[in-house]
Amino acid sequence: MPSPRKCGCDVPNAILSQDFIPEPAGMSPQRNIVRGVLTTIGSFMVGCLVVGAGPGEPTMPDPGDVVEAYATLRGWVDAFDLPQPDEPEASVRLRGASGVCVILRRRGRVLGTGVDAGGSELAVRRAAGRALGAVLADPAVSNLPPELREQVGRSLTLELEIAGTPLPILGRTFKEIADQLAPGLDGVAIRRGSRWAMLFPAQLRARNMAGRVERLLRPLATKLGLAPMSLPQLTSLHDISMYRFRSTHLAQTLPDRLPFETFRGDRIVAEKEVDAQSIAALADGIANHLIVSESPLRDPVGVMGTYRPVADRYDPLIAPPLEQALVAFALARFGRTPGVDAQISTRAAEAGHRILHQLRRVAPSEEDPLASAVVAAAIVHAGIEVQKLDADCNWLVSKAASRVVEAFTVNEGFVEADGAKTITAHGNAMIAAALSLLLKTETPGLAPATVRAAIDTAWDSVPEHKRVTLLPWLGWAESDFAEASARPLARIETLKRLREFLDASRIGTPARPGPPDLAGGFALTAGNRFIADAQTLRPAAYLATMVRDRRLTPPAEAQLALGRHLKTIRFLIQLAVRKPSVWALKNPARALGGVRASPWDADQPVAAQALGLLTAAETLMSLDAMARGNPQQDQRSLGSL
């Protein structure tokens, strides 16, 4: 049989030919997948489909047909060859399908993608031909000797995504169309007469564009031979229609492994999996991820910037000072957390100290961390948490403390060094929290009345319905101020109302239904779209503290509050890159343990790592306090400045 035809799909360059030399015979992947096992997966898929069940929702392809198609396709990929279109073996039945997407990877890297729009029995064969053709078109493969080229297919992992029935969607602009899509779950299609162009969810996730679909819709129209125009122009001139669709997606962790069904490219973390052990493993993983992300440059500059797994690069290369200080704080806090891996916690504490030391050394091209009162506030948090500061770190933390004290006056409010009132509300909250910590250390010249005014000013800097954005900082500030001033906890009702608001915003309740991977996250965005992302971690870090604070959570209510909070921890575990979810990553070692921006956005922002680690650490501390039967107020350490 002939080799698959060459197609125009993008294939990464610089793929070494030795990457395609098959493993030794004893390690060779299975050539054929046992259909009996796949049939079990098909039965499982029938019960797991969460889409297409209600009115107005797309119907899904037949599960049995999908698994049968996967088994057939895996055999073609193993052989790196396809049957002729007119041969009976080329026909694959897919009832209820409107399109097929095939993605081939080598160690997480996409080498070939093939799409066929339509429900023809040749759709799988055509999509496979385009995907295999893209792999074959790469010089690293085409230059291999024939006997090795035939074995390339057995080194590739296979994704098969089958689209269900498309449903029409209306919108005046491509952005309005994109806003109606569930990111990472919905595909999008354009129809012109009898011709279709489709973008599958797996394609979007592979490019990390599921949250930015509008950027791809105009280029999608060109696949129908249309000029790149706005949606109103295309609609009026060419009578096109827009559609959304859901799909069934099967993938593999390794070429010789059985496929599994994914949900938004991942597996669902069950609530029953959330316990002290899994939370400790979560914290260990995030901490280790941050330690791995320390810069390898000869001149130490702290941790790298946001890691982007799809591109396998950091952007920016070096994290800005605020994020550096937040990481130092989180690592030091983790280093004092019970129930975590002792070796990792020791390394984390050392890394937190090391990052502070590196912030002290400002190169000519670097931003001075003490130029910003908000960065200074983060340094204060880190410095008070880090144990046994050296002389350089003591100098930095002392200067940062002075900078924080100067950043607020009762008459002027929050100001930067140059007098500009450009500090954000969230920055105000961080400064107020740092002032409360400094009051606990009996910083000379800092009056309780000034700190109280700073906290109240920070609270009042936003409307009440936006005060959740000021957590965890103002929640911690209230606890620290109460302890430092020997006064009752202020704003108790404010804090309780915030918790009630968050409990009502948590996805997975009857009032806030949503996809299972978002369960436990907070739907904090406007509108009726119940979606959650890493912004959940800001309030979650403080909710973890509230569980063990008797003033906010009486012992009789602690277990109920903990149960609600653990649902949010489930979402945090879902956000983290776990071993079962590294199958689609180019560099698993860099990404493992990192917290993603959202279930559909693979990027790992530095701030999300810090807040995720703080949330996990605070939760473990509350679990420890409850296990000892002695819930306490906030017990964060008070090292000397």
Q: What domains does the chain contain, in order, with CATH numbers?
A: 35-49+56-254 (no CATH), 271-627 (1.50.10.10)
Q: Look at residue 188 and tell me whether its pLDDT is greater than 90.
A: yes
In this prediction, residue 3 carries a pLDDT of 38
Which residues share a beta bridge with 409? 413
**For the ranges 56-70, 146-160, 348-362, 452-466, the one whose mean pLDDT is highest:** 452-466
Which run of H or E residues covers position 167? strand 167-169
In this prediction, residue 91 carries a pLDDT of 97
In this prediction, residue 13 carries a pLDDT of 28
In this prediction, residue 205 carries a pLDDT of 97
**Mean local confidence (pLDDT), 44-52:** 40
Contact 60, 53 (CB under 8 A): no
Q: Look at residue 11 and tell me whether its pLDDT is greater than 80.
A: no
What end-to-end distance do the CA atoms of the chain give, in Å?
75
Phi and psi of 100, rounded to 5°? -135, 140
Q: Look at residue 224 and tell me whether its pLDDT is greater than 50.
A: yes
What's the pLDDT band for 42 if we cut at 50, 70, 90?
very low
Contact 37, 74 (CB under 8 A): no
Q: Nearest 5°: CA angle at 482, between 476 and 487?
A: 165
Bond into 472 cis (ω within 30): yes
**Mean local confidence (pLDDT), 518-529:** 83
In this prediction, residue 236 carries a pLDDT of 84
pLDDT digits (tens, 9 = 90+) for 119-143: 899 999 999 999 999 998 878 787 8
Position with higher pLDDT, 373 vs 145: 373
Q: Look at residue 513 and tell me whether its pLDDT is greater than 50.
A: yes
Neighbour count for residue 191 (Cβ, 10 Å): 18
Q: Look at residue 52 and tell me whether its pLDDT is greater than 90.
A: no
Q: Look at residue 640 and tell me whether its pLDDT is greater than 50.
A: no
* Verdict on whether the full-model pTM lies above 0.85: yes
Q: Look at residue 302 and tell me whether its pLDDT is greater than 50.
A: yes
In this prediction, residue 341 carries a pLDDT of 94
| Secondary structure class of 21 (helix, strand, coil) | coil
In this prediction, residue 316 carries a pLDDT of 95
Which of 111-115, 141-145, 370-374 shows the lowest per-residue confidence on average (mean pLDDT)? Answer: 141-145
Q: Which of 622, 604, 464 is nearest to 544 (CA)?
A: 622
In this prediction, residue 419 carries a pLDDT of 66
pLDDT digits (tens, 9 = 90+) for 468-497: 999 999 999 999 999 999 999 999 999 999
DSSP state of 270: P
In this prediction, residue 630 carries a pLDDT of 56
Q: For residue 129, what are the CA distances in angstroms to 73, 91, 420, 552?
A: 10, 13, 61, 62
Q: Within 120-160, where are the H helices?
A: 123-137, 139-142, 146-149
Which of 200-214, 273-287, 353-367 shows the lowest per-residue confidence on average (mean pLDDT)? Answer: 353-367
In this prediction, residue 293 carries a pLDDT of 94
**Mean local confidence (pLDDT), 213-227:** 94
Supply the mean pLDDT for the chain. 88
In this prediction, residue 31 carries a pLDDT of 40
**Mean local confidence (pLDDT), 315-336:** 96
Contact 629, 623 (CB under 8 A): no
Which of 58-72, 605-619, 623-637 shows the lowest per-residue confidence on average (mean pLDDT)? Answer: 623-637
Which of 81-85, 227-231, 484-488, 600-604 shows the lowest per-residue confidence on average (mean pLDDT)? Answer: 227-231
